[in-house]
Structure formats: structure tokens, C-alpha cells
Amino acid sequence: MDVKTTLQTFPFPARPRIMFMGTPQFAVPTLRVLVQEGYEIVSVVTQPDRPKGRGRKLTPSPVKLVAEEQGLAIFQPQRLDDGFLEILTAREPELFVVVAFGQIIPGKVLRAVRWGGINIHASLLPKYRGSAPIQWAIIHGEPQTGLTTMFMDEGMDTGPILLQRTVDIPEGQTAGELHDRLSDLAPGLLIETLEGLAKGTVKAKEQDNRLATYTAKLTREHGLLNWSWPVSRVCGLIRGLDPWPGAFTFFNKKMLKLYGCSHAETGQRGSTPGTVRDVTEQGLEIEAGNGSVIVRDIQAPGKKRLPAREFVKGSPLSLGSRLGT
């Protein structure tokens, strides 16, 4: 029996028994609010501990740390296989709540729980299905993005939409800043969704697949800048990859990562894109294809991220230097 048939047959419970599935910091506020609001979390499922840092020490996910703090049962399966189905049988959840879990959830797992899964996705579906929707929205210069709650199916972010919340993307906002805004808004949208389903005021709506767009998984290689691009494209890439993986260029055959970007007020275009035009309190002004940009922070390999005006004090980078060669 699918979710839509179940909704027509049974009332959605006011307090479903939830199995929470999430991994990164983005999911943490939602887990915290579910606990605060009194929802029964039968267990938390998160990714296995991963090696991090120079010492490659096994490190728990942010969600695992919060689950431990709250005294919740924790499972970290490598795969959602038959062994995981045994966990479901033992824990008896009525609903999955999935926030940036990091694994595809098979149909047989979704069907093993009466109400399946509700996912919070960081875009206005059907736009930006897939990974890194926050980053790609900024890279592509979108004026708005948002959050979507949906019932999950076996596709990639293709399930019926429940609720959406739109947010503006201000000029200069980075992916990291937008990430934090959406992470803080996600719990409220989820609670509104759960309460609306219980009252019958929230109805599932099929997505229009004709309007769907998909995002690629981000890699470090996406960060290479071309200074002949228009200002909007240069700034979009720098802001969209801030803080990770970072847009980058080269100077004296060494890679430099650039963070924070805005359009220079002068808007003048020089003869050579990539040329450093000025160093100001706001950052480094660099010529692009149709104007110039202000880059706020710079990071050399193995060094800390620094404000651009501080970085140039200990660097050969100066007025007239050319980046990108």
C-alpha cells in the first residue's frame, strides 16, 4: 500500500513514532526540535564514523553527537540492506524523517514503514534535484531558493511535495551562509508539515517532471576560475563554493583559494582579466570579463584563510599582479 492510499484509509498520527535519518550539521536543528517538541524518536540512523583531519582520526557525524547527547538509540549501517530491515522490525517506526542522510533509501525500506519517509530538501522542487542544491543555486545566480518537504519515493527527489518555503538569496551571500539559514528554517517547516498532515490541511502534490533540473555532485575541480567570465559568473562560483570546496586560481604557479565576492562599485573593465586592480578594506579588486570583483578572503595551500588585505602583506601578490596563469 503506497502513502497516498494509506492517507485515504487511515488518519495521519498526531505524534508518529519517528526514525530520524541524517548526518551533517544541516540536519542537527531538525533533530533537536523534534526532541524538544516531544516527538518519539525510536532511533537515529546516521553515516558511519569517517576519518578526518591530518591524523585521519575516525570522527562521528554531527547528528551522531547530538543523538548521543540526547540519549537516543543510534545505528550506523554501511548499507540499508536486509540487516537494516531487521532493525526496523525491532524499533517499529511509523515514519522516517530524512534530512541530508547521505544514502539512497531503497523502496523496500520505505515500504516497510507505514508512512514511508518525509524528506526535507534544500531547494524548491522540482528545481535542483540531487546533491548540493544550495551551492548550485548560488553558482547559477538564482535570486531565490528554499526548502521542500515531500513524501519519498524510489526516485531522486521525485516524491510528492507537501510544503515549500521560499527564501531570497541576497547579493553577496555565500553557500555557507545560505546553508545555515535554511538549516534553521527546516525544523519549522517539518513541524508545520507533520501537524498539517495530522489535521488533514496539508495535501501531497505530484511534481511536474517537465520543470525538473538536476545538480551534479560537487568536486574540487568545479572550483577553477576563468577570469574572462562575466562578473556575475565569477562571483557566483566563488560564493557558491564558499566554504567548500572553494573556488581557486593560480599565481606564480601556486594555487590560491578565494572566498567571499561582490561586484566592484566602479564596474570598470581593464584590458587583462585576472589583473589585481586594487587592495581595499573590503578585499582584493580583480578584473573580470565585463568589470571587476572584490574578493574578501584568500587562502594559500597549507595556510589559514585570511582577509585579502592581510594576505597581501606577506605575499608577492600586489597591484598589477595577474591571476590565472
- pLDDT, one tens digit per residue, over 121-138 is 999 999 999 999 999 999
pLDDT, one tens digit per residue, over 71-123 is 999 999 999 999 999 999 999 999 999 999 999 999 999 999 999 999 999 99
Which pTM value belongs to this model? Answer: 0.95
Name which residue leads in pLDDT, 172 or 266: 172
Place of cell 527564501: 167
Measured between alpha carbons, how far is residue 297 from residues 47, 258, 260, 303, 306 in Å?
A: 32, 6, 6, 12, 5
Measured between alpha carbons, how far is residue 25 from residues 65, 182, 240 in Å?
A: 10, 11, 18
* Residue 243 grid coordinates: 566554504
b/e per residue 52-73 (b: at least 16 CB within 10 A): eeeeeeeebbbbbebbeeeebe
pLDDT, one tens digit per residue, over 2-47 is 676 666 567 899 999 999 999 999 999 999 999 999 999 999 999 9
Contact criterion met (CB below 8 Å) for 112 and 88 = yes
d(CA 95, CA 321): 58
pLDDT value of position 8: 59
Confidence of residue 52 (pLDDT cuts 50, 70, 90): confident
Confidence check: pLDDT of 306 > 90 = yes
d(CA 264, CA 164): 35
pLDDT value of position 7: 65
pLDDT value of position 92: 97
SS3 58: strand
pLDDT value of position 112: 96
Confidence check: pLDDT of 54 > 90 = no
pLDDT, one tens digit per residue, over 190-247 is 999 999 999 999 999 999 999 999 999 999 999 999 999 999 999 999 999 999 999 9
3-state helix, strand, coil in the chain (%, to 5): 30, 25, 45
pLDDT value of position 265: 76
| CA dihedral for 195, 197, 199, 202, sign (positive or negative) | positive
Contact criterion met (CB below 8 Å) for 113 and 95 = yes
The H or E element spanning position 35 is: helix 28-36
Confidence check: pLDDT of 268 > 90 = no
Confidence of residue 53 (pLDDT cuts 50, 70, 90): confident
Q: Residue 261, by phi and psi: left (phi above 0), alpha (psi -120 to 50) or beta?
A: beta
d(CA 281, CA 309): 7
d(CA 168, CA 186): 15
pLDDT value of position 5: 64
Confidence of residue 267 (pLDDT cuts 50, 70, 90): low
b/e per residue 22-45 (b: at least 16 CB within 10 A): bbbbbbbbbbebbbeeebebbbbb
Residue 245 class from Cβ within 10 Å (0-12 exposed, 13-18 middle, 19+ buried)? middle
